[in-house]
Amino acid sequence: MSVITVSNLHKFYGPLHAVRGISFAVEEGEVFGLLGPNGAGKTTTVETIIGLLRRDRGEVRVLGFDPEKDSLAVKSRIGVQLQTVHLFPRLTVFETLLLFSSFYRECRPIGELLALVGLTEKAHTRVEKLSGGQLKRLSVALAFVGNGAVIFLDEPTSGLDPQSRRGLWDTIRRLQGEGKTIFLTTHYLDEAERLCDRVAIIDHGVIIALGKPGDLIASHFREKAIEIPFDGDVLPFASLPGVTRFRKDENTVTIYTEDLPETFVALNQLAESKDIPLEGVVVREATLEDVFLKLTGRRVRE
């Protein structure tokens, strides 16, 4: 069953056409990721779906309700973490959760919320004394307070250290295990690849790819990627046997090959003849980042 449906959604800010006719559906119990670079239209899409912004065209339904016409019905059934959060600086973490709990009929126990986001030890710390990462984790906990069926998380892991990031991934999986539907935005494509059942990649307000991460990668790349730390002429690498495409970043050449053994042998010969050191060479599967690069010619965080 689809819990979120978006059809031909458009949003303008004055002359800026920020979201340009996107459509997708999110199924019950899935972790769905909306991915894209800064300014792609992710937050605008989320805020339109949850009814914080009015759409200019198109249809949106959340659990069967129109967020503009049935705002209360939607808001009482969802949990939301937004990128910017304004909390009371002098309340403690515990008091903040208690305050937000008072807004809902059904709530998760505060002790459980604290444990979910790893803030148990900070329960009695004032909000003004939290680090950026701790504040982010508190804002994520607020999305879980009302025990909503659909949880919206806008860039939940940006600004978190790697350990907290992984902790949050575990939390998201745990909530999914409880049957929740999670809609998240991120510009960490590695995160989306691990966490999301399906993703929509958005760029300049348009969805350019939609599907399971593995399927998207497989449909765009049969190749493996070889990353070579090198800052010179890329052409000798590009013309190695098996190579289908290549990319040059600052100090790295990436070649994609359909025949890894053949390319590798030739790469070794080339390195020997041109005295190119091969330490630091990495062979990897293609990733969502490669898909984005192929579709747009840019990296997500360029």
Closer to ligand ATP by Cβ: residue 82 or 228: 82
Query: Per CB under 6 A, does 88 bind ligand ATP?
Result: no
User: Minimum CB separation from ligand ATP for residue 135, in Å?
Assistant: 17
Gap between the Cα atoms of 220 and 198, Å rounded: 16
Q: 150, 63 in Cβ contact below 8 A?
A: yes
The site for ligand ATP, by CB under 6 A, has a size of 12
Nearest distance, CB of residue 23 and ligand ATP, angstroms: 17
Provide the minimum distance between the beta carbon of 157 and ligand ATP in the complex, in angstroms, as a whole number.
12
Q: Does 43 sit near ligand ATP (CB under 6 A)?
A: yes
By CB atoms closer than 10 A (0-12, 13-18, 19+), residue 97 is buried
Sheet hosting strand 224-229, strand order edge to edge: 243-248, 252-257, 224-229, 282-285
Closest separation in Å from C-beta 39 to ligand ATP: 4
Q: Is 156 in the site for ligand ATP (CB under 6 A)?
A: no
Rank residues 40 and 130 by Cβ distance to ligand ATP and give the closer one. Answer: 40
18 binds ligand ATP (CB under 6 A): yes
Asked if 41 interacts with ligand ATP (CB under 6 A), we say: yes
> Hey, what are 62's tokens?
């959340």
Q: Are 133 and 161 in contact (CB under 8 A)?
A: yes
Q: How far apart are CA 32 and CA 284, in angstroms?
A: 25
The CA distance from 266 to 243, in Å, is 11
Per CB under 6 A, the segment of 24-32, 36-44, 55-63, 283-291 that binds ligand ATP is: 36-44
Residues in the chain: 302
Interface with ligand ATP (CB under 6 A): 13, 16, 18, 36, 38-44, 187
